[in-house]
Chains A and B, each alone.
Chain A
Amino acid sequence: MLELRKDIFADERDDNLNEVGKPTQRQDMLGHVTATSPYFNDHKLQGMLHLKVLRSTHHHARLRRIDVSEAERQPGVRRIIRGSDVPRNINTLLSLINFGKDDEPSLAVDKVRYKGEPIVAVVADSEREAFEALAKIKVEYEPLPTVFDVEDAMKAGAPIVNETYPKNTFTYHDIYDHQKLRFGDVERAFDQADHVLDERYQMSPIEHAPTETNGSIAAPETNGRYVVYTSTQALFFSLDTSAKILDIPSNKLHFIGGTVGGGFGGKVDTLTEPLAILGSMLTGRPVRYMLGREEEMQYGSPRGGERIYIKDAMSRDGRIIARKMRCIFDSGAYTRLSSYAVVKCAAHLPGPYTIPNVHADVYCVYTNRVPATAMRGFGVTAVDFAIECQMDKLAHLINMDPMEFRILNAYRDGDMKAHRREAKNTALIECVQVAAEKAKWNLSESAKRASSRKEGSSARASMPDSSRAAAPVAASYERPATAPASSFSPPVVQSTVNAPPSAAPPISSPSPTSHGATRFSSVFGRRR
């Protein structure tokens, strides 16, 4: 049974919504079950041509020669498109919001940086003829050293994957190679800790695997406009991206979306629209470009693989007194949306717990792998998995119930978060209590009595000055009455740290309000 605890969330919104807890039919369900939902690929336009791309067979190679002469003479071939035909053959998706440098060509020119990177496009009367022409294109590669591991990529002397970022790391605010979070003094806390747990977590890329693969159909309209039927899940984002790559005003493009046959973040990359429109511009005909299943699985961008190191300091009674994290996100060969995943991750650390000393570095790293992109909570989901695995291990270490362990460490209203913002409307404790109740999991009386509205603020709301001096090593708690028996002595509350951390970094952007990611994230000050 679904229930909304209005006693907890009463102030969250003034709602008279009448939907929660009741089955509601999806608005598109009738169309799906009667096979009448409109998809972009339902448009069979007169004289429609088909576009296919030749993809790199190497993970990293210089392109010495591309010979399309035989392919051009193939029957049915209308046009071969090379990188030099693309008006602005370099782009990065978030450039629309001034975030990051252009780093990815629509069609590779000098070199390929991942296996499957598009090199040449063929526009032909039929898919078959396009495939046959592709087979006639000769590409001479000069293989280059490859790097597939994020930490290898960060080492000095590693192969440079993407010359836009010669250190193989994304550049934040024009100078920083990672996102940084500093709060209190973790090293001091590690010295005082009863337990230290240092673990490594490695995630795998995950493919969105939509039922409908990425694709679009572009066709000339009147007045030099082009209509584009597309599977995109971000219609105007794709429109503006296409307008930029094709160097035309966005009012020359008329994008029509339909049902997105599975998106999950995998249809924001605008993988097909620019080339479909360019094909249409160059031939004057409607052009369809749809990824095959194998292209979608192998080369459509996945969720990135993240490597996460967590080192925690814990006192004997189960309070986490420091958390040090190093997260390295594998962006693949190009940025796409991984730079933003890093910002989200940094905004999320150290999880929903009040930890008085936090230290985190989060990197967006380039490797010769398929570029990663958005997928359902990217930047947060994986790190949460790591954090919660770590929480279980910590609880196990001191033989404490994992649910109670979370209640003990959960943030409470009024606590100071590592981002120097006061925690508001917290409800982790209540969520854990309800979960325990539903699962018939026995909690101690003190855990049952715990509340997000009690025990917060006061010392726990203090703001350590990590760049200079005083920082609490342990937040003050009322110790639960039934905390595990131990030879625990009350922690040193408000102990001070005098040694300044080495290399005190700027915490915020030099000009945060002008930063592109403000539209996305609460980390820059807007709460959604």
Chain B
Amino acid sequence: MPLSVKTFDTVHEAAAALSAERGSHFCGGGTLVMRAVNEGDTTLSTLVRVKDRSLSQVRASGARFSIGSGVTLAHLLNEKDLSFLHPVVRSIGGPAVRNMGTVGGNLFARAPFGDLTVALLALDAVVSVHGSYGLREMPMEEFLSGRDANRGALVLGVSFERPSSPDAFRYRKVSRVKPKGASVFSIAVNLPNMGGRISGARIAYGAMAPTAIRAKAAERALEGKTLDQTTAAAIAAVAAEGTSPATDSLASAWYRRETIGVHLRRLLLGQAE
């Protein structure tokens, strides 16, 4: 069966088309879907595209940002208010990939890709999804856990709050080829600080499980603590809890588990890689 491409004016029509047919996939920038097409993935039968421009807008209200799923990674680099995300975006692909790749697409990238999603998870982002049931907002974690089951839904965008201070949000990508290599793993942390003590810490990993995940044991160990050597060492000790990394051409699962704590400790202490 030939591959068909359907382009719709509205999000509603596109969402309906996605849920109507099993082999239909949404195509944003095409960095994931077109690769699959070109490599001969015959399970894709229809590519759904949408012209609705609201998907490619970045909006800010107060400290909260809403980013359309069709916003490209290159576009994020042009948004000065999102400068805390720029190191994350720059760690993804090269200029050609960033010019095409979108925020929505990154949510579906499989390990060891999808570094932006790791940052969004640490920022407690909320995902807006248009499914057969209509519009729904869900936390990143819930979205990621059901991601592969809900292929018929259309992601409209994500929203999140600016980190409480410039120092609160930190990101590190460990890769073997710099600057464009895929992740051995990536780490994003958001450390809201209440009078010198961490409160509501978020630690997220990429490439440590099939989807981006939160390191909840490490988050708990950080709660109410001040960030010092002792705390960082204690957190490093539990850093690999709950992870299930893959063995691939970049690193073995063993290596990922062994080294995640080292890099997390250095990130927390502000040390170099």
Binding site for B on A (CB under 8 A): 52, 126-129, 131-132, 134-135, 292-294
Q: Which of B36-44, B58-66, B86-94, B240-248 has 4 or more CB atoms under 8 Å from chain A? A: B36-44
Bound form: Cα–Cα A293–B41 in Å: 13
Bound form: Cα–Cα A132–B42 in Å: 6
CB closest chain-A residue, reference B43: A135
Given contacts A126-B2, A128-B2, A129-B2, contact A135 B42 (CB under 8 A): yes
Bound form: Cα–Cα A134–B40 in Å: 10
Cβ–Cβ < 8 Å partners of B149 in chain A: none
Bound form: Cα–Cα A127–B42 in Å: 10
Bound form: Cα–Cα A292–B40 in Å: 9
> Is A52 a contact partner of B40 (Cβ separation < 8 A)?
yes
B225 CB → nearest A CB, Å: 44
B3 interface contact, C-beta 8 A: yes
Binding site for A on B (CB under 8 A): 1-3, 35, 38-40, 42
Cβ–Cβ < 8 Å partners of A134 in chain B: 40
Cβ–Cβ < 8 Å partners of A292 in chain B: 38-40
6 smallest CB-CB distances across A and B, nearest first, come from A131-B40, A132-B42, A292-B39, A131-B42, A294-B39, A128-B3
A336 CB → nearest B CB, Å: 23
Given A128-B3, A135-B42, list of 11 further CB < 8 A pairs?
A52-B40, A126-B2, A127-B40, A129-B2, A131-B42, A132-B42, A134-B40, A292-B39, A292-B40, A293-B39, A294-B39
Bound form: Cα–Cα A134–B39 in Å: 12
Cβ–Cβ < 8 Å partners of A127 in chain B: 40
A220 CB → nearest B CB, Å: 26
B41 CB → nearest A CB, Å: 8
Cβ–Cβ < 8 Å partners of B38 in chain A: 292-293
Bound form: Cα–Cα A227–B138 in Å: 58
| Chain B binding surface SS class | loop
Cβ–Cβ < 8 Å partners of A52 in chain B: 40
Cβ–Cβ < 8 Å partners of B40 in chain A: 52, 127, 131, 134, 292
Bound form: Cα–Cα A126–B40 in Å: 11
Bound form: Cα–Cα A149–B272 in Å: 39
Cβ–Cβ < 8 Å partners of B3 in chain A: 128
12 intermolecular pairs with C-beta atoms under 8 Å apart: A52-B40, A127-B40, A128-B3, A128-B42, A131-B42, A132-B1, A134-B40, A292-B38, A292-B39, A293-B35, A293-B38, A293-B39
- Of the listed residues B1, B3, B40, B42, the one surrounded by the most CB atoms of chain A closer than 10 A to its CB is B40
Bound form: Cα–Cα A132–B3 in Å: 11
Cβ–Cβ < 8 Å partners of A294 in chain B: 39
Bound form: Cα–Cα A293–B37 in Å: 12
Bound form: Cα–Cα A129–B1 in Å: 7
Cβ–Cβ < 8 Å partners of A132 in chain B: 1, 42
B31 CB → nearest A CB, Å: 13
Bound form: Cα–Cα A518–B2 in Å: 52
Bound form: Cα–Cα A448–B39 in Å: 58
Bound form: Cα–Cα A292–B41 in Å: 12
Bound form: Cα–Cα A128–B42 in Å: 7
Cβ–Cβ < 8 Å partners of B39 in chain A: 292-294
CB closest chain-B residue, reference A126: B2
A359 CB → nearest B CB, Å: 37
CB closest chain-B residue, reference A293: B39
CB closest chain-B residue, reference A132: B42
Cβ–Cβ < 8 Å partners of B2 in chain A: 126, 128-129
Cβ–Cβ < 8 Å partners of A293 in chain B: 35, 38-39
Cβ–Cβ < 8 Å partners of B42 in chain A: 128, 131-132, 135
Bound form: Cα–Cα A132–B23 in Å: 14
A79 CB → nearest B CB, Å: 18
Cβ–Cβ < 8 Å partners of B1 in chain A: 132
Cβ–Cβ < 8 Å partners of B35 in chain A: 293
Bound form: Cα–Cα A52–B38 in Å: 12
Bound form: Cα–Cα A293–B38 in Å: 9
A197 CB → nearest B CB, Å: 30
CB closest chain-A residue, reference B35: A293
B151 CB → nearest A CB, Å: 20
Cβ–Cβ < 8 Å partners of A129 in chain B: 2
B246 CB → nearest A CB, Å: 18
Bound form: Cα–Cα A132–B1 in Å: 8
Cβ–Cβ < 8 Å partners of A128 in chain B: 2-3, 42
CB closest chain-A residue, reference B1: A132
Bound form: Cα–Cα A274–B42 in Å: 27
Cβ–Cβ < 8 Å partners of A135 in chain B: 42
CB closest chain-A residue, reference B45: A128
Bound form: Cα–Cα A363–B42 in Å: 43
Bound form: Cα–Cα A126–B3 in Å: 10
A420 CB → nearest B CB, Å: 45
B215 CB → nearest A CB, Å: 32
Bound form: Cα–Cα A521–B95 in Å: 43
Bound form: Cα–Cα A224–B251 in Å: 53
CB closest chain-B residue, reference A134: B40
Bound form: Cα–Cα A240–B91 in Å: 46
Bound form: Cα–Cα A119–B35 in Å: 24
Bound form: Cα–Cα A363–B1 in Å: 50
CB closest chain-B residue, reference A133: B42
CB closest chain-A residue, reference B37: A128
A495 CB → nearest B CB, Å: 51
B4 CB → nearest A CB, Å: 11
B76 CB → nearest A CB, Å: 26
Bound form: Cα–Cα A126–B39 in Å: 13
Cβ–Cβ < 8 Å partners of A126 in chain B: 2
